[in-house]
Structure 1
Amino acid sequence: MAFVFLAGSWAFTSYYLRYVFPGLFAVVAVFLYPRTGRGNSKARTRFSGITVLRASVFLLFSVLNALVIASHYPSGETLDVDFPLRSGTYYVLQGGGSAVTNPFHALSSDRKAVDIVKLNRFGNRADGIAPRALSAYEIFGETLHSPCEGRIDRVRDGLLDNPPGHPVTEQSEGNYVVLRCDEADIFMAHLKRGSIRVAPGEVVTAGQPLAEIGNSGNSLEPHLHISATKNDRAIGLQLNGRSLSMNSVVRRGEEVHN
């Protein structure tokens, strides 16, 4: 149950269910406990031995939970920049340096990338579980702001925004902006077609609008993919001094809750 709480993809239904779930489980457990027979001495004697299977399952989920928690504390070099989205409540679908919390990126060269969506008032990242319209996704068309002062290294624009659930694996990054900041490159991908407002070589200030969030490239649904590299090596990103991992929530781009 702890693993479901820590690593479940709650934004596909409602992030707020993440906090209702443990309470409901506790109520059900209290109600069912007397029926298990463990409340009497004979049952305690009968079930006192912990089997190898039980011990293995307990150890497995203990390790998984430890990996999820550790993913909120980065190892190695990190780059601290501003959160690039401005108004609303944002949610990390996957992130951190663990394969448990960042399964699609953990084995790639972009292994410390973070994927961010926006939550509506119901705690869902869209109007429904899997709507077909791009406009139903809360983050689609959201303005992307520069997370630091720097120079635009390269951009790509012109690729179509895919219908939800239909990613394009060719040119998998989709439309993107690469920003050079403190000798590191910040990569922001899956941007909306025709929305990029900057050009290579342009110097930008922190907070300057760069583009809009879209669904181009190898993307199942609208989200912001952001990562950092230094000397062609992936490094961790800290946004406003905090490291984000799966189920991290950012409210109005100011306060981060893990």
Structure 2
Amino acid sequence: MAGAVELSLPFTGTWLVQNSPARRVPSHGTHLFATTYAIDFVAVRGRRTAAVRDWRTALGTEPPGRFHAYGLPVLAPAPGTVVAVHDGEPDHEARRSPLALVGYALTQASRARAGGAALAGNHVVLALDAPRVFVVLAHLRSGSVAVRPGQRVATGDEVGRCGSSGNSTQPHVHVQVMDGPDPLVARGVPLVFRTFRERRRGGTTVEVARGVPAERAVVEPA
């Protein structure tokens, strides 16, 4: 992708790709909040996001702690300087039930009106060393942000833990690149990831030196 910012995957282990810009742009269905090329990752074992399925999975909400992603380290995907952090938002109950998801969708507009914290939840914004390149790591676990504004980070440094805060239906990591520090006025910037393994839906695993993971692929750092 021309002009794309190259990152490392911000985690270890295996994660399922959702809302990939390899599938569509804008990846999240809107250019608002600089999410044009954003991508989501959900930790999996095999292709399962949680070890438990019960009546709550089918009919209600579920505690975020039953999901594999919850509490896993979220890592800096490139060297840079922390320019903004937000913590203290609650981790929401997870929703896999179609009934629960419908109810959640009906409150989407109210979260958008409530501003960045209601959407991104607990998050970290990094200014990379390249000019006008900023990375957001969002939906972190409440109380887990491990960095402060002005702090330098190297690739692989822990910035927080995966949670389900903000606009989130289950614990996951949201990554986006933008051309300014404030997603309310910035524009989304294309991203690619370096050096990862991608297991596609047909079962084929490929080594990728530089690329955007496919929708519903399972990826891990190589």
User: Do both proteins adopt the same fold according to a TM-score greater than 0.5, normalized to the shorter chain?
Assistant: yes
Equivalent pair of 2:31/2:188 in contact (CA under 8 Å): no
1:51 is matched with none
**Counterpart-to-counterpart distance in 2, 1:215 and 1:222:** 4
- Give the Å deviation of 1:120: 1.3
Q: How does 1:191-206 map to 2 (within 5 A)?
A: 191-206=140-155
Task: Give TM-score scaled by structure 2 length.
Answer: 0.72
Aligned residues: 176
Is residue 80 of structure 1 aligned with residue 20 of structure 2? Answer: no
2:98 is matched with none
**Counterpart-to-counterpart distance in 2, 1:101 and 1:133:** 30
Letter in 2 for 1:124: R
Kindly indicate which of the two structures has a greater share of residues assigned to strand.
2
Is residue 163 of structure 1 aligned with residue 110 of structure 2? Answer: no
Gaps spanning 5+ residues in structure 2: where? 96-103, 181-185, 195-209
1:176 is matched with 123
Is residue 248 of structure 1 aligned with residue 217 of structure 2? Answer: yes
1:118-140 Cα distance to aligned partner (Å, 9 max, x none): 1113x211233836121221111
- Give the Å deviation of 1:247: 1.8
Query: Larger relative CO (CA 8 A, sep 6+): 1 or 2?
Result: 2
Task: Give TM-score scaled by structure 1 length.
Answer: 0.63
SS in structure 2 of the partner of residue 117 of structure 1:
strand
Larger displacement relative to structure 2 (142-151 or 158-167): 158-167
**Counterpart-to-counterpart distance in 1, 2:187 and 2:3:** 10
Letter in 2 for 1:205: A
**Counterpart-to-counterpart distance in 1, 2:165 and 2:135:** 18
Is residue 239 of structure 1 aligned with residue 193 of structure 2? Answer: yes
**Counterpart-to-counterpart distance in 2, 1:158 and 1:105:** 27
- Give the Å deviation of 1:107: 4.3
Is residue 90 of structure 1 aligned with residue 15 of structure 2? Answer: yes
The correspondence for 2:49, drawn from 117, 125, 129, is 125
**Counterpart-to-counterpart distance in 2, 1:198 and 1:187:** 13
Equivalent pair of 1:99/1:106 in contact (CA under 8 Å): no
Letter in 1 for 2:14: T
1:151 is matched with 81
SS in structure 1 of the partner of residue 65 of structure 2:
helix
What is the alpha-carbon root mean square deviation over aligned residues?
A: 2.2
1:219 is matched with 168
**Counterpart-to-counterpart distance in 2, 1:185 and 1:235:** 9
Identity %: 24
Question: In terms of Rg, which structure is larger?
Answer: 1
Equivalent pair of 2:26/2:37 in contact (CA under 8 Å): no
- Give the Å deviation of 1:105: 3.7
Kindly indicate which of the two structures has a greater share of residues assigned to helix.
1
Equivalent pair of 2:81/2:152 in contact (CA under 8 Å): yes
